[in-house]
A and B are shown apart, each in its own frame.
Chain A
Amino acid sequence: MRKVISRYATSGGARIAYQTVGNGSLDVVLVPGFPSNIEILWEDPGFGHLVKRLAAFCRLILLDPRGMGLSDGIDSRNPPDARGRAADILAVMDAAGSGRAALIGASDGAAAAMLAAAMWPSRCRALVLHGGYACFLASVMDAKALQAFASATEGAWGTGATLARLAPRRAADRALVGWWGRLERLSASPTAAAALVGMWGALDVRDSLPSIAVPALVLHRTGDAHVPVESSRALARGIPGARLVELPGEEHPIWMGDVDAAADAIEQFLTGEKPVAHGDRMLAALLVLRVLGMSSGAGRTVPGRHLGERMELFRDALPPVVARHGGHARWTRPDQAHARFPAAARAASCAVALRETAASLGLWVAQGIHVGEIDPSPEDLSGPVLDVADRIAARGSGPEILLSRLASELVSGSGLQFVDRGALAGIDCRAPLPLVAIASERHLEPRSRTAPRAANLDALTPREREVLALVADGLSNPHIAVDLGLSEHTVKRHVANILLKLDLPSRAAVAGLAARRDAP
């Protein structure tokens, strides 16, 4: 994809940041909700996926609403109204060279998009609303609650606290909360954030709904945590000819949760064609990790009440370890994490690293790895590959790392060794799935690297055995030469012959061999 460049449009003296992505025949403007920063949002896999889906059939124009992200700030004593925000959309379209575009208004961006569609129908090809409302105070919360929320927002701004309001189910994901805090900080200052939230109270475009004459699609997730679905039902009743589609899910931001469901509906509405299966399923290695409790060693010495503390540390430690191995992880339960990796070897080496991290905290973990095609949807992993990985992890009693043999066969060349661990019973008439465990280093070494060779000392001459004994004592060639009354050159020849006959790589190996033979 071409490097996305942020540019600035001018709207009534203010600069509004925008980006264009994709080369489809129609233009689509995405008017986002709160908070927004079009450069930071790209870091979120869900946002990237939504943009990819939309930009596959259109030229997508992304913008930061006035007061947020890269756009100019607002005067908190004289904030812009919905009309001003609608004019900003038009200014961005002008700057991007778009004469006519479909507008997608998400969350509080919906009011501005509706107003733009009502005011400039010739510039609006179609209207899509997601999680929107015409009047905040009538649909979302009353003035008192809004004031409390604005004040709480200002107080906790930059900590990621607003995530709990917009997508509560995701608020347990500490890595996401951390990133959300960054998004907050880079989208507005605390004062500006409180002013923006306060502005919602003034949003009321209900009078404009009947004059929207362009085709409209109203999308809303039924469990939306921030804006009740009834709000969009009212929009669909108010906008002539609007089509309402209720989607499952509770995440308020359009780019979180089931992004594909929203993208499918939008693509079908704007192109008239049912989206074909994306065909971009990808091969991935999935790792399921379960914390079983404290390891027995730790259990004897550390009181059980420390388990929670250790778990907290481990929950924080896991995502960076997975990221270092090129993966993406989420805690799906307090004691269970799912991670996906682009290759099985990365999953396996990450599992080893996670086991060490867990062990350092005195925790006992079971891990299972399987490979297969998955839906690249960045949110919750699901599907048969995950189910199998889950069953493999359930089979483990820790600290062994279990893999399907299929996964282990993709790891060849990584240096990892495996031992058979039976098979997982097949389901749905499938054959049992053979399992292996990653062999620990302790088991590995005797087998592969320093396994005692069937060294035959009988092949050595008496003089060579004398030299061998002195080499094993750690003497250097000049010392051996003096001890045995030989020239140094001759000693070198003897040592070379010993290495050759015993097929050993070095003097140290010779010494090791002699030491093992002398051992009781």
Chain B
Amino acid sequence: MLTTSTPVTGDAIKQAIENRDGRTLASFYADHAVTRIIDRNNPPSRPKEIRGRGAIASFWDDICSRMMTHHVDITLADGDRMAFSQACTYPDGAKVFCIALLRLEDGMIAEQTVVQAWDE
């Protein structure tokens, strides 16, 4: 199991995402974490589910390997609940916007729901 030296805070998530630091991002998740993604290709009745830290790490590796810019604009925290919004831009100018809701367990992300939309 990976150990995290960075506590999961809004600032830490912002730093990791904006620096495309997939390894740090993966370290924020609990072993059994689940990330659900809802977008045009993955409608609410059939969201894409990524289960387990290994799969989530691979997901963030893919995202972070892209030479795109990410800005985390708003982060909110309320007990073991967190939320943040993220605006991303591809090299060709296409934009993606997503909002993520997180539930923490023992300081680690146990559940994440991402709703995203992009330039069509």
**B120 to A98, Cβ gap below 8 A?**
no
* Least Cβ–Cβ distance between A449 and chain B, in angstroms: 47
Query: Measured between alpha carbons, how far is A100 from B55 in the docked complex, in Å?
Result: 16
**A2 to B119, Cβ gap below 8 A?**
yes
For A58, the closest partner residue in chain B by CB is B62
The answer to whether residues A26 and B62 also contact, given A57-B41, A97-B67, A272-B55 and a CB cut-off of 8 A, is: yes
User: Which residues of B have CB within 8 Å of A511?
Assistant: none
For B119, the closest partner residue in chain A by CB is A2
**A97 to B90, Cβ gap below 8 A?**
yes
Whether, in the assembled complex, A24 has its beta carbon less than 8 Å from a beta carbon of chain B, the answer is yes
**B61 to A100, Cβ gap below 8 A?**
yes
Query: Measured between alpha carbons, how far is A125 from B64 in the docked complex, in Å?
Result: 13
Name A's interface SS. loop
* Least Cβ–Cβ distance between A454 and chain B, in angstroms: 59
User: Which residues of A have CB within 8 Å of B39?
Assistant: 23
For A3, the closest partner residue in chain B by CB is B120
User: Which residues of B have CB within 8 Å of A97?
Assistant: 66-68, 90-92
The answer to whether residues A25 and B59 also contact, given A2-B120, A97-B91 and a CB cut-off of 8 A, is: yes
For A125, the closest partner residue in chain B by CB is B62
Query: Measured between alpha carbons, how far is A99 from B62 in the docked complex, in Å?
Result: 8
**A27 to B118, Cβ gap below 8 A?**
no
Whether, in the assembled complex, B63 has its beta carbon less than 8 Å from a beta carbon of chain A, the answer is yes
Contact of B92 among A7, A24, A27, A56 (CB under 8 A): A7
**B94 to A99, Cβ gap below 8 A?**
no
User: Which residues of B have CB within 8 Å of A26?
Assistant: 62
User: Which residues of A have CB within 8 Å of B68?
Assistant: 97
Whether, in the assembled complex, B46 has its beta carbon less than 8 Å from a beta carbon of chain A, the answer is yes
The answer to whether residues A98 and B119 also contact, given A2-B94, A23-B39, A25-B59 and a CB cut-off of 8 A, is: no
User: Which residues of B have CB within 8 Å of A7?
Assistant: 92
Query: Measured between alpha carbons, how far is A284 from B28 in the docked complex, in Å?
Result: 49
Whether, in the assembled complex, B5 has its beta carbon less than 8 Å from a beta carbon of chain A, the answer is no
Query: Measured between alpha carbons, how far is A98 from B67 in the docked complex, in Å?
Result: 6
CB contacts under 8 Å to B, within A74-108, are 95-100
For A123, the closest partner residue in chain B by CB is B65
* Least Cβ–Cβ distance between B85 and chain A, in angstroms: 17
Name B's interface SS. loop
**B96 to A23, Cβ gap below 8 A?**
yes
User: Which residues of A have CB within 8 Å of B40?
Assistant: 23
**A23 to B65, Cβ gap below 8 A?**
no
User: What is the interface size of chain A, counting residues whose CB is below 8 A from a CB of the partner?
Assistant: 23
User: Which residues of A have CB within 8 Å of B120?
Assistant: 1-2
Contact of B41 among A24, A96, A98, A272 (CB under 8 A): A24
For B37, the closest partner residue in chain A by CB is A25
Residue of A25, A26, A272 with most partner-chain B CB within 10 A: A25
Query: Measured between alpha carbons, how far is A99 from B41 in the docked complex, in Å?
Result: 23
Query: Measured between alpha carbons, how far is A381 from B53 in the docked complex, in Å?
Result: 43
The answer to whether residues A25 and B41 also contact, given A5-B92, A97-B68, A276-B46 and a CB cut-off of 8 A, is: no
Query: Measured between alpha carbons, how far is A1 from B119 in the docked complex, in Å?
Result: 9
* Least Cβ–Cβ distance between B74 and chain A, in angstroms: 22
Contact of B65 among A2, A20, A57, A99 (CB under 8 A): A99
Contact of A100 among B46, B59, B65, B118 (CB under 8 A): B65
For B89, the closest partner residue in chain A by CB is A97
CB contacts under 8 Å to A, within B38-57, are 39-41, 46, 55
**A25 to B65, Cβ gap below 8 A?**
no
Give A contacts to B, CB under 8 Å. 1-2, 5, 7, 20, 22-27, 56-57, 59, 95-100, 125, 272, 276
Could you show 20 A-B contacts with beta carbons less than 8 Å apart?
A2-B94, A2-B119, A7-B92, A20-B92, A23-B39, A23-B40, A23-B41, A23-B96, A24-B41, A25-B62, A56-B41, A97-B67, A97-B90, A98-B65, A99-B66, A99-B67, A100-B65, A125-B62, A272-B55, A276-B46
- With A27-B65, A97-B68 given, can you name 13 additional A-B contacts, CB distance below 8 Å? A5-B92, A23-B96, A23-B118, A24-B41, A25-B37, A57-B41, A95-B91, A96-B91, A97-B90, A99-B64, A99-B65, A100-B65, A125-B62
